[in-house]
Structures are given as C-alpha cells and as structure tokens.
Amino acid sequence: MKHFNVLLIAGFLLALSSSCRTQSRVIGERNQKSPEINVNTPDVLIKPMVADLDISQEKKTSTYTADLNLNASEIKENAQAKFMDEHSCDIIINPVYKKITSMENSNVSKIEYEVSGFPATIKKIEQNETLSTTVYDYNRMNFDVKRDEFTYKDVSDVKGSELFLSLGSGSYSGIEIGYFPSISDGIWYYGSVESYIIEEGKTLDITVNYNDVTESPIDELFSMTSFSLGAGYRADLNKRISSNIFGGLNYSMLSLENTYESANNPTGTYRLDGVNTLGLRAGIGVDYAVFRNILVFGKGFSNINLVNMSLDEITDGNDVTSEFDLSELSRLNFAVGLKMRF
C-alpha cells in the first residue's frame, strides 16, 4: 500500500507538471533537388531521362515576409517555396531574389524577399533510347559544373528613431548623447560635456583694468570644461562607414588653479576665479560600424569664443574689468572613441 501511495503521488506530480505548459511546433519543409541517379555498380547503365517543361512566357513575382527566428538559408528557401505554391510550378526559370531589410532603432524589424522569375511545370518525363541532337550539343558546351541560380539585390530600408551614447578621448575626454528623430532623414541633435587636457605649463593671459589704470598681465594655470548643444547631419558612405557634420552653441568654463586677488585697488578688494565663455562649435566626424550597434568614431571640432564673462568679486566699487587672451582656445580639438546605438 505504501508503494502504491508513492506511485500515486509521483504520477499526480508528473501529470501536474506536464499540464502546466504545452508547446507545439509545426515545421513545413519543401525540398527541390536536381534529378539524381545513384548507380551502385558501374556495370549497370540506365537510359537517359528527358523532361519536357511548360514555361510561362510571363514573368511572375511573389513576396515573402520572413520569420526573424529563421536563418538566412531557411528564409530564402521559404521565399522560393511560396513562389512555387502561388504560381503552381515545379521550377523557377531565371529566378531573381530581392532582399529588403527594414530596421528600427538599429535593430532588424522585418525581412522581405521578393522573388521573380518564369514559372515552369514538368509536362512529361521519359526515358529515351537515344538523346536528341539538341541535348547532345548542349551537353558538350563548356559550362561551369554548378550554375548560380540566385541573384541578389540587397535594399536597406532603415526607419524609426535612434538614440546613441558616445565616449571619446584625445585632446579632451567627453561624453555625448545624441538623438535621431528619423534615421532616414540623417538629422540628429546632441548634448555633450568635455573636460579638456591642458598642456603642462600652459597659462591663461589676464589683464586687469581699474580706474583707467592697467595692471601688469597675469599668467595663471587653469582647467577647462565645456557644454555644447547642437545638431548635425549624417551621410552613409557604405554599410559600415558614415560621415557627419555638426555645429551648435558652446559654453566653456575656465577655472584658475589659484584664485587671483588684489587688495591694493583704489576701489577695494578685487578677486578673480576664472572666466566663462559663450560661443559656437563646428566640426566633422567619421563613424565605423564594428557590429550592428557598436561603432568606433573619430571627430574634430573648433570652439569659437564670442562672449567672455569673468568670475570676479569686488568688495567695493564697480569700475574693475578683466581682459582674457583666449585666441589659442579656439584651436581644433580631436578625439576618438566608442559609440553605442540604442
């Protein structure tokens, strides 16, 4: 009885577990091969077989939307099978396969095969004692062993939006976030933050003016960061390489390593921490797709400073001004890095 109870419980658990999930899969396959004759011994000779075809004089077309879980060869075979089912034929004469891939957010969303050709059906297959002169002459022609039956025309139809994140390093270290509202238009918007690498010993030239008196120029070590907002345009050169141009507003912040302070001014104490600038940015870049959503890039740009805003603090008076020599800060900046698309 004890053994019976154990078996009963085990059977109940097995039935319960098997009834929780049901998975079914239907696989339809259609194979078409060239006629083959396998002869076991060289002593057996078989009469030649000749097939008569009824070939349509009108070119037909069929479109197949692929299951993305299938591999490339299965997709092509399914497209061929759909053509043969739609046009009730046995053979496709001079088939042409046009593959159309649609992408959204850099991911493949749909693959379509457009198959065109002349449908042909086999009217009669017979064995002959002798081959006709036409068949004999055709057999003597110097053709390749295997004829290429498939002709491809790949058309990439990229739609949807795209978001990307890039990390770059060179004359600066920076991060950039970009957005394509419509990939097909090629127009994108970006926001970026950069921290610049200042050459060792490089200083910022500052001149302080107060009450029409100019103090001797000051050379101070400094650090620099910037924020930029703008837009750009991307043009695809091929499937992997694209070029882009971009431009926008640039806001730079230069901070002195040591705060400059003067207490001998006629107007009181004067303190200077750095300078902020507002200007423009313009640049170009090149992207190379290593994988579908991973790219490497190189780009260069120049910041054009238009408006300077000193970070000064005056204890008494308001007639103190500062002038900065920022001519060398508009130089070109280069970087390479990694870009990820989402």
**DSSP readout, 150-191?**
--EEEEEEEES-EEEEEEEEESEEEEEEEEES-GGG-EEEEE
CA 130 to CA 48: how far, in whole Å?
8
At residue 231, the pLDDT reads 96
Residues of the chain with pLDDT below 70 are 1-46, 104-106, 130-159, 201, 208-220, 260-271, 310-325, 327-330
Check if the beta carbon of residue 251 is closer than 8 Å to that of residue 214: no
Tokens of 217: 């120029």
User: What letters, b where the CB count within 10 A reaches 16 and e where it falls short, cover 104-142?
Assistant: ebbeeeebbbbbbbbbbeeeeeeeeeeeeeeeeeeeeee
HEC string of 39-72?
CCCCCCCCCCEEEEEEECCCCEEEEEECCCCCCH
At residue 269, the pLDDT reads 61
Domain annotation for the chain: domains and CATH numbers: 46-159 (no CATH), 162-341 (2.40.160.70)
CA 329 to CA 306: how far, in whole Å?
12
At residue 242, the pLDDT reads 93
Partner residues linked to 299 by β-bridges: 285, 335
Give the three-state DSSP class for 8: helix
Tokens of 251: 């806001």
Check if the beta carbon of residue 215 is closer than 8 Å to that of residue 262: yes
pLDDT in tens, 134-162: 666 666 655 554 555 555 555 555 667 88
Check if the beta carbon of residue 232 is closer than 8 Å to that of residue 284: no
